[in-house]
Amino acid sequence: MTSTHAPAVLVEGLHKRYGAKRAVDGLDLRVEHGEIVAVLGPNGAGKTTTVETLEGFRRADAGHVRVLGEDPATAGRAWRSRIGVVLQDNHDLAEITVREVVHHFAGFYPAPRDPERVIDAVGLRPKASTRVRGLSGGQRRRLDVALGVVGDPELLFLDEPTTGFDPQARHEFWDLVERLRLDGTTVLLTTHYLEEAERLADRVVVVADGRVVAEGAPADLGGRQARRARVRWTADGVTHEEATDAPTALVARLAAHLAGPDGEVPGLQVLRPTLEDVYLGLVGGDATAASGQEEAA
């Protein structure tokens, strides 16, 4: 077992090209044991190439990569038994049952979890005797997770795990991931759902053009400037707006000078940027266009 003093994942200066295209261009990444880290970025940002390199499916052109203390490009079966991978697309084993496939995959590992307990943990007990082809999309994703965790991995890779889920299934899946973290599993998650990263991740890493452009806790991503509140109000029929680190003080000043007989400041709004607003600003999107994504204080 790797000492927990070393990170679960350490990437320094990762480079990967496909012909003339730089898929990953000097990317750095660190994931500590027990963390859930979400990697965000637009299509083509280099997320998939990076994760597939960490999983040992691709070789880096340059850079230092260590996952659970080993280079994934040369690590053997013992190392692979310590990671779990839940891919975005898996091939179906349509004609066998949930119980059969989980028990079958457990046989690949030297010290697997009890397959029956795994079936319970992912909420598939009522479907244990159902053939895989008879599962709904959300149930199939639960099975994918069961296959990813049955080997009792120290590190679990989740690639767009809730794509196609309805809201209820997504929330149930989030509960499952949080239970895995309580069991001590380190999770590296790629997702396009900003609310998923905000709910699950201890840290968010934003990738664009093959590099990390920002990282931090969801509530701190982008730094103080990106997190400033915006106060809007109306005076003499004109809408005003001011960005501020002290919205309460500004509202108090406005109330002292502009409040009407009812004590209200006309058109007053205090708007705080969401994770989506900050993310769009980091990757070059228009974070202010979708005002419906803002949170009123």
> Given this model, what pLDDT does residue 127 score?
95
66 has a pLDDT exceeding 90: yes
> Given this model, what pLDDT does residue 225 score?
55
**Six token digits for residue 284:** 């070059």
28 has a pLDDT exceeding 90: yes
Proportion of the chain above pLDDT 90, given as a percent: 41
> Given this model, what pLDDT does residue 2 score?
45
Give the ranges where the chain is alpha helix by DSSP (H).
47-54, 77-80, 98-106, 115-121, 137-149, 167-182, 194-200, 223-226, 247-258, 275-282
Is this model's pTM higher than 0.85 or not? no
Residue range 178-204: average pLDDT?
A: 89
Closest by CA to 173, choosing from 181, 164, 162, 163, is 162
With 0-12 CB in 10 A as exposed, 13-18 as middle and 19+ as buried, what is 94? Answer: exposed
pLDDT greater at residue 138 or residue 199: 199
**Residue 122 · residue 141 · CB < 8 Å:** no
Residue type, 162: T
Sequence spans of domains, the chain: 9-216, 226-296
Confidence grade of residue 115 (pLDDT, cut at 50, 70, 90): very high
DSSP class of residue 132? G
Residue range 100-119: average pLDDT?
A: 93
57 has a pLDDT exceeding 60: yes
> Given this model, what pLDDT does residue 69 score?
95
Residue range 56-73: average pLDDT?
A: 95
Residue range 105-129: average pLDDT?
A: 91
**Residue 155 · residue 186 · CB < 8 Å:** yes
Q: What is the mean pLDDT of the chain?
A: 85
> Given this model, what pLDDT does residue 286 score?
42
- Report whether CATH 3.30.565.10 matches the domain 9-216: no
**Six token digits for residue 133:** 């082809």
> Given this model, what pLDDT does residue 1 score?
44
pLDDT greater at residue 86 or residue 109: 109
Least confident of 1-5, 80-84, 293-297: 293-297
pLDDT in tens, 165-176: 778 878 888 888
Pairing of strands 229-235, 269-272: antiparallel
φ, ψ of residue 277 to 5 degrees: the values are -60, -45
SS3 238: strand
pLDDT greater at residue 10 or residue 144: 10
Least confident of 87-96, 188-197, 226-235, 252-261: 87-96
φ, ψ of residue 209 to 5 degrees: the values are 55, 40
